[in-house]
Structure 1
Amino acid sequence: MAGASREIDDSRMSVGMMHSASGQVLATMDGLQNRLESVVEGAVSAIRHRPSARSGLDLPATLHGVAAAAVPVRVVSLDPLGACLRMERPLPRGSHGTLEVPGLPPVPVRVVGQGDITRLALLQDKQAGAWQSSLIAYLAKLESEAA
């Protein structure tokens, strides 16, 4: 009988410790969620207000390295951080390749979103700064031609 009582007490203690640990995990997860929401809100705000963004485009381009052959695409939005494309077949999220837009140097990209529009993120490499400078000049040229 004493052995059973001891096992019950040990079980209660173990349950109490697990309950306490789960409470700590929950509190930590809440804190992480709040931080993540703050980071996302900041990123979305920065994207909405970033300079040199250009949407409403319809430029021909080619995406290399994400499929067996070069993929023809239409660029509908372009900025120093990435691009939005229209294409016939979606590409797997996380695919890496090179985007070539006539008038700009090739740039390494990663597929970050799919839907009606494929979203690409510019991969930050040694040429990223040069590409971003070229893009700003390219967008300024498009703007002046449209005016």
Structure 2
Amino acid sequence: MIKTALALSTLLLISGCAQNSNTAAPGSPHAGTSTEQSEPHHQITDQWVGRWIGVEGLFLDISKNEPAGPGHYLFEMQYGLDADQIGTFEGQATAEGIRFNREDGQHLLRAGDGEATGMKWLLEKEDCLVVKTGEGYCRD
């Protein structure tokens, strides 16, 4: 009887160790979630933090949105010449760049060069961020 109990105990221990260790409790992050997948993205976009200059006084200041976590940013930007084309917007890193919303819709900020901005005043620049053709910000 004791041998049978020992054998059963051993089997239970072995079967417990063989269970999938990746089983997550409800509500906990799962392997491969967007948090883990976006980690490399924010490592690239973290390099974009700082001031970027457009034409005719336009600018883009990117800072990390620390309370929101890695891969989240705040944009302070003057994106047009009209007085109401200024504001602060939240963005999130993606594989393509930083996605953000403002009054004129959803946008994707992506790396490019002066030519990608579509603006003749920035053609010679090599380190730029582009929102759309005709809207870009560069560093010297």
With normalisation by structure 2, the TM-score equals 0.36
Larger % of helix: which? 1
With normalisation by structure 1, the TM-score equals 0.34
